[in-house]
């Protein structure tokens, strides 16, 4: 699954266009490297999201094409 879509379906970022713009600005890091929105997310990847005042670091646990709002947070684990 594309990085921008993953961020949207897990509700880490509310809109896919915002996720796409964040990737273009270099605010999303995958395994310590800046990633494009087209990056294919894999289980085990560590994502660093630098939006707002507090950066968020999560590890990908599973990838679902569709995740309801009740189980969207099951796709990742917050590291810091």
For residue 75, give both structure tokens.
């796709």
Report whether 3 contacts 13 (CB < 8 A). no
**pLDDT value of position 59:** 96
* Residue of 40, 39, 80, 38 whose CA lies nearest to 59: 80
Q: What is the pTM of this model?
A: 0.90
Check whether 19 has a pLDDT greater than 80. Answer: yes
- Pick 59 or 54 by higher pLDDT: 59
Check whether 67 has a pLDDT greater than 80. Answer: no
**pLDDT value of position 54:** 86
When pLDDT is cut at 50, 70 and 90, the band that residue 53 belongs to is confident
Instruction: Name all domains of the chain by residue range, CATH numbers in brackets.
Output: 3-78 (3.10.290.10)
């Amino acid at each position: 699954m594309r990085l921008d879509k993953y961020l949207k379906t897990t509700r880490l970022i509310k809109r896919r266009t915002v996720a796409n713009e964040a990737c273009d600005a270099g605010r999303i890091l995958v395994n310590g490297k800046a990633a494009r929105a087209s990056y294919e997310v894999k289980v085990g990847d560590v994502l660093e999201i630098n939006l707002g005042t507090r950066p968020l670091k999560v590890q990908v646990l599973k990838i679902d094409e569709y995740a309801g709002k009740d189980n969207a947070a099951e796709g990742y684990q917050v590291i810091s």
